[in-house]
Amino acid sequence: MQRATEMLRNKGISPSYHRVKILAYLLEKKTHPTVEEIYRNLSKEIPTLSKTTVYNTLKIFIDKDIAKSLVAGKNEIRYDATTREHAHFTCSKCHRIYDVELAGILEEDILSEGHKVEDCQIILKGICKNCLSKGN
């Protein structure tokens, strides 16, 4: 919780209890959760939490570069507290989403061709190593 509080303060965001808990959840859970997942999991311990609060908080996080949104599946928006450029791998068996390093793909002269790249979302799809090892 302290890391989340410090991150919010460093970005000029008032660290309300709800904001701290939502950010701490994103930092702890690397599952790229949806608003529904965040709400369902946090509302158990925060009965005053609403989906609107989750949506509004995530919008603030995105505006202040504390989180990113990504479209996974068919128009399913998920959230990620890892803001450095990276790709995502989606498993077609278990549907988990993994972070994947890009290792130089986003270097300005490779991708941008003179344009200013502000965001890049690469989603790889296949079967993750966990499902492969289980024989799925």
- 56 and 107 both lie in a single domain: no
Domain that holds residue 113: 87-133
The answer to whether 60 and 13 have CB atoms below 8 angstroms apart is: yes
The pLDDT value given to residue 89: 87
- Could you read off the pLDDT of 64-121 as tens digits, one per residue? 999 999 887 777 899 998 888 788 888 889 888 888 887 665 555 555 566 677 777 7
Query: What pLDDT band is residue 37 in, cutting at 50, 70 and 90?
Result: very high
Average pLDDT, the chain: 87
- Short-list 104, 65, 110, 63, CA closest to 86: 104
Question: Does 31 score more than 60 pLDDT?
Answer: yes
| CATH code (residue 47) | 1.10.10.10
The pLDDT value given to residue 134: 86
pTM metric for this prediction:
0.80
- 73 and 110 both lie in a single domain: no
Listed residues 80, 104, 121: the one ending a domain: 80
| CATH code (residue 120) | 3.30.1490
The pLDDT value given to residue 74: 74
- 13 and 63 both lie in a single domain: yes
**pLDDT more than 90, % of the chain:** 55
Alpha helices in the chain (DSSP H): 2-10, 17-28, 35-42, 51-63, 108-111, 129-133
Query: What pLDDT band is residue 50 in, cutting at 50, 70 and 90?
Result: very high
Number of domains in the chain: 2
- 6 and 49 both lie in a single domain: yes
